[in-house]
Chain A
């Protein structure tokens, strides 16, 4: 199915841009007319993916985070969050709940678990040394068809 709208966004991997990316996604999916819970779920999942790119992908070095998002006529949104950072050796292990590489104990290791429970589909493509792409998909069921 061909998308009926798309957008691309790139920004510095500064933590202040986590809120910025959530705001952009909220505005982009507005034509799907999500309810409060759907909006909150999608913002949370995007926040997790962007935080992963900043904290793990780029390990707090400043580089570029790329987001592309697509709306489909059947009320689906697909959001890709990409970094060109260090990549993940073992994606399956990284996706286990409570698995974290954080030594300080301040990261819960729940990022992927949260994304998986809030979205319909979560795919992760990663190559060590090349970077990581997280693909998030969610259908908005609360309202009718898209009017873009």
Chain B
């Protein structure tokens, strides 16, 4: 399983594992969205600590979950982004969404 979900009272923590590409993104999306729709959390955390590769499918994954959490009236936080993945996120202008947790580890 490429994602480890922790369901807490008011938040869902999704620890992503492995290489995020178009192939894996579908399964990640379905798993995470299923949990969010069931739990209706006020916070969704996407933890990228276990991600070893990401192309623009990862950007689509983040933007799609950002919209989902907006619809659900909650927030999205992206944490523990490994340095090699930051390039693609910066290129996509993800800073503007203000979802990146820059105070996290593994900077």
Footprint of B on A, CB under 8 Å?
Answer: 15-16, 18-19, 22, 36-37, 40-41, 43-44, 47-48, 51, 54-55, 105-108, 110-111, 113-114, 117-118
B60 touches A106 (CB 8 A): yes
Per-residue interface assignment for chain B, residues 38 to 76, with 1 indicating a CB less than 8 Å from any chain A CB and 0 otherwise? 000000000000000111110111011001000000000
Tell me if B7 counts as interface (CB < 8 A to partner A). no
Q: Are A40 and B67 in contact (CB under 8 A)?
A: no
Evaluate contact between A19 and B22: CB separation under 8 angstroms: no
Contact B23 A114 (CB under 8 A): no
* Cβ contact of B55, chosen from A15, A51, A54, A117, cutoff 8 A: A51
Query: Which of A51, A105, A114 has a CB less than 8 Å from the CB of B67?
Result: A105
In contact, B19 and A19 (Cβ under 8 angstroms): yes
Size of the chain B interface, CB-CB below 8 angstroms: 23
Residue B11 at the chain A interface, CB threshold 8 Å: no
Check if B23 sits within 8 Å of A43, measured CB to CB. Answer: no
Taken together as a complex, chains A and B put the C-alpha atoms of A16 and B67 apart, in Å, by: 27
The A-B contact count (CB < 8 A) is: 67
Of the candidates A108, A110, A111, the one having the most CB atoms from chain B within 10 angstroms of its own CB is A108
B19, B56, B61, B63 interface centre (most CB from chain A within 10 Å): B56
Are A48 and B56 touching (Cβ within 8 A)?
A: yes
The residues of A that contact B64 with a CB separation of less than 8 Å are 105-106
Beta-carbon nearest neighbor of B91 in chain A: A117
Q: Find chain B residues with CB under 8 A from A22 CB.
A: 19, 21, 53
Closest residue on chain A to residue B25 by CB atoms = A106
A87 shortest CB reach to chain B, Å: 20
CB pair B23 A18 closer than 8 Å? yes
Residues of chain A within 8 A of B25, CB atoms compared: 106
B28 to chain A, nearest CB (A): 11
Chain A, Cβ-Cβ closest to B85: A40
Check A47–B21 contact: CB distance below 8 A: yes
Chain B neighbourhood of A44, CB < 8 A: 53-55, 88
Instruction: Give chain B residues whose Cβ lies under 8 Å from the Cβ of A16.
Output: 23
User: Chain A CB within 10 Å — which of B22, B55, B61 has the most?
Assistant: B55
Provide the residues of chain A in CB contact with B92, threshold 8 Å: 108, 110
Known: A36-B84, A113-B91. 6 other contacts (CB 8 A): A40-B84, A44-B55, A44-B88, A51-B57, A110-B91, A114-B55
Report the bound CA distance from A106 to B56 in whole Å: 10
- Cβ of B87: which chain A residues have Cβ within 8 Å of it? 37, 40-41, 118
